[in-house]
Amino acid sequence: MFKAKLRAAIIHGTITAFIGVLTGVAVFYIWYPGAFSEMSHGTELFLLVLLVEMFLGPVISLIIFNPGKLPSELIRDYCIVGLVQFAALFYGMYSVFISRPVYMVFVKDRIEVVSAVELSDSDLEVAAPKFKSLPKLGPRTICVEFPANAEEKSDLLLSSLNGRDIQLIPKYYRECFKGEIASNTYTREDFVSFETLGESFVPNAVRNDDFTWLPVVTRFGAWLVIFPGGDVSNHVYVNEDPFS
């Protein structure tokens, strides 16, 4: 009896693992590419979803499987388990999806990573047409246009004091000008002289090269992005908080 149950659990676990691999491709290669899986805590969210799936599938299969049951009863039981698994997977992946990074917003001297859950539908409605819908295939790099109107400036200041700064207000989004980000990066000399950094924090990949860099701020903390040779199309993310 136990061997039959174990075999059923292993088969169920293999199917669940295969589905986990497929969903993992979406998470780590599309929604949270590269360093974003760690930077935006995509790994933790996905592992939680996978853990729930592995418990709901193989563990329940180990409990309910009985070779003495009629085929119709086994089909009924597994349909129920499958529905429960699908519901849990759908909810979990939806949570991962709405937490995905959608924009890398360059703001003066830093890059702010904005996730989908931080932007409301009402804010998106008043944005420029190209920013009314959120990117679904990885984060997009954009810039902002600061208001010139005195009243808007005052409103933005009050909003920032309440924790909602310009990177969270899509109506100020725009495409970056050519060379805009590159011309506002910090130099290697700035990196070495920065109070919380220094020569020892220079990544091995660029230790013997010139580079520029910027802080990268997420709702979970701050990182660094380094541009070897000052080329912003080439970047290396470093898990160091320049503000700590």
Give pLDDT tens digits for 121-150.
999 999 999 999 999 999 999 999 999 888
204 and 190 fall within a common domain: yes
Structural domain includes residue 62: yes
Q: Do residue 32 and residue 43 come from a single domain?
A: yes
Q: Do the beta carbons of residue 23 and residue 53 sit within 8 Å?
A: no
**Looking at the structure, do residues 82 and 27 belong to the same domain, yes or no?**
yes
Are 196 and 244 spatial neighbours (Cβ–Cβ below 8 Å)?
yes
- In this structure, is residue 105 part of a structural domain? yes
Same domain, 193 and 161: no
Residue 135 shares a structural domain with residue 168: yes
125 vs 201: CA distance, rounded Å: 42
Residue 82 pLDDT level (bands cut at 50, 70, 90): confident
Assess if residue 63 is contained within a domain. yes
Same domain for 93 and 7: yes
User: Which of 98, 118, 145 is at the close of a domain?
Assistant: 98
Q: Could you tell me if 162 and 191 lie in one domain?
A: no
With bands split at pLDDT 50, 70 and 90, how would you rate the model's confidence at 153?
A: confident
**Residue 81: pLDDT over 90:** no
Q: What is the pLDDT of residue 96?
A: 93
> Do the domain assignments include residue 134?
yes
pLDDT at 2 over 70: no
Domain count, the chain: 3
* Region for residue 133 given its phi and psi (left: phi exceeds 0; alpha: psi -120 to 50; beta: otherwise): beta
Same domain, 88 and 113: no
> Quick one: pLDDT band at residue 114, thresholds 50, 70, 90?
very high
Give me 58's structure tokens. 């193989």
* 122 and 65 within one domain: no
Task: Tell me what pLDDT residue 199 has.
Answer: 81
Residue 243: inside a domain, yes or no? Answer: no
Average pLDDT on 64-88 reads 78
pLDDT band with cut points at 50, 70 and 90 for residue 5: low
Q: Are residues 60 and 19 in the same domain?
A: yes
Cα angle vertex 96, ends 95, 101, to 5°?
120
Average pLDDT, the chain: 88
Residue-wise pLDDT for 159-185, tens only, equals 888 888 999 999 999 999 999 999 999
Final residue in a domain of this structure, among 98, 119, 152: 98
81 and 129 share a domain? no
Residues 15 and 83 in one domain: yes
In this structure, is residue 244 part of a structural domain?
no
Burial class (CB in 10 A: 0-12, 13-18, 19+), 129: exposed
Determine, yes or no, domain membership for 179: no
Structural domain containing residue 18: 2-98
Task: Give percent of the chain with pLDDT exceeding 90.
Answer: 48
**Domain final position from 75, 98, 121:** 98
Report residue 242's pLDDT band, with 50, 70 and 90 as the boundaries: confident
